[in-house]
Amino acid sequence: MQTEKVRLAIIGCGGMAGAHLNAYIGLKNRGIDIFDFVAMCDVDTDRAKGFAVRAAEVQGGVEPKVYGDIDKMLEEETLDGADICGPHFLHHSLAIACFEAGVDVIVEKPLGVTVRAGWKMIKSAEAHNRILATAEQVRRWVGPRTVEWLINKEKRIGAPRMFFRQSVSGTNKDPENLLRDEMTTWRKDKLTSGGNGIIDGGVHYIDLLIYFFGEPDEVYARSENLNQYQFKEAGGNHVPQTVEDTALATITFKSGVIGQWVNTGAAPGRSIGYNSYHGSIGSIYSTGGYPQSPELQLWDGNVDDPDTLQRTYMASLGPEEKGRLFPHGITEGVMLEVYDFLDAVRTRRRPELDGVDGLKAQAVCNAIYESGWLGQAVKFDDVYNDRVTGYQDEINERWEI
């Protein structure tokens, strides 16, 4: 069974939602007319109105209806799918409301504010026979797809052994002035964000590691708030940041691969950014946080440059696989993730990354926090199955999860 057109709502019209809106508009502009914008929902209805105006430009001037309340939207609209881009602490309640209304959902990462919140979403989707997709763009890029092909299909680095990632940076403002001019956002508060860079952007990196090396085994980590910055709240007062700005983690996988991840925004001076993957006969290296430009170097010094590797990878794909991984010739990550969701809704298939996939990546990030909280290594399975929760307890209590 195939739905003719997906009737779509975007819930949460803030920062990352703009990238999602651009991706959907990009599909329309490519002639991929498999959905209609039906509703835009945000507590700030002016933001939702701005999204609606842009959406109308690619669907014959028909403006989706604007809502400030999800319950009212779900009561009044007939929807097939919803794209949730709200704050982390709202992901589970927004998604569950959609499932109960018979609506499929894609959720911007991380899946939930805690592991328990993620499980509530997964179980609700299963109970209502709905699709829950995790918005994960990074593994869909040509560079990371090339790395997975080199490691697992071509075996170009031999038996995988280890990985390293350094994301080291600091402020370009006076580091001794703890009062920041920026307004406090929910991202600076543990209770609303669940954590900082590790759980927010970090889930992309962990998803890649799982994509490359399989299921994790154990995490040993420290996480700290070294800067102790304070940010302005709505009333103009300064309040302390309650999430980490630094984490150092050793992660082992059930396959035997082991590696280290350093992520900090508390290191002024020279920045460092690279990621590398090493096997028994060579390595893959890329600058930046993700392997967008992977270079292969073997034990004898022979090097294959990024452009050659990526061209060779793309040429290796048969028509069916290329159509699955890069449908309609799309290579932009967000456009690929939303297309995958829309196609899954229309054809009633599993999306490439469902809620379980999203929660596994998130659980490694939560394991970093839990290990730091306990001061000892933690097993991935214990965090993923909600058996180790010390760091998360106050978040679960605050939102009655």
Per-residue pLDDT at 183 exceeds 80:
no
Instruction: Measure the CA–CA gap between 213 and 197, rounded to whole angstroms.
Output: 22
- Residue 185 within any structural domain of the chain: yes
The two three-digit tokens of residue 108, written as one number: 């911007």
Domain holding 245, by residue range, is: 139-317
| pLDDT tens sequence across 9-67 | 999 998 899 999 999 999 999 999 999 999 999 999 999 999 999 999 999 999 999 99
- Residue 148 within any structural domain of the chain: yes
Q: Do residues 147 and 284 share a domain?
A: yes
Strand partners, 82: 9, 105
Q: Are strands 132-135 and 104-108 parallel, antiparallel or unpaired?
A: parallel
- Residue 374 within any structural domain of the chain: no
- For residue 2, what pLDDT is reported? 57
Computed over every residue of the chain, the mean pLDDT equals 96
**Which residue from 23, 277, 248 is spatially nearest to 135, judged by alpha carbons?**
23
Query: CATH number for the domain including 74?
Result: 3.40.50.720
- For residue 307, what pLDDT is reported? 98
Q: Do residues 83 and 196 share a domain?
A: no
Where on the phi/psi map is residue 171: left (φ > 0), alpha (ψ -120 to 50), or beta? beta
| pLDDT tens sequence across 129-179 | 999 999 999 999 999 999 999 999 999 999 999 999 999 999 888 888 888
| pLDDT tens sequence across 235-287 | 888 999 999 999 999 999 999 999 999 999 999 999 999 999 999 999 999 99
- Which residues, including other chains, have CB under 8 Å from residue 239's CB and lie 6 or more apart? 184, 230, 231, 232, 233
How many domains would you assign to the chain?
2
* pLDDT range class, residue 110, cuts 50, 70, 90: very high
Query: CATH number for the domain including 191?
Result: 3.30.360.10
- Residue 346 within any structural domain of the chain: yes
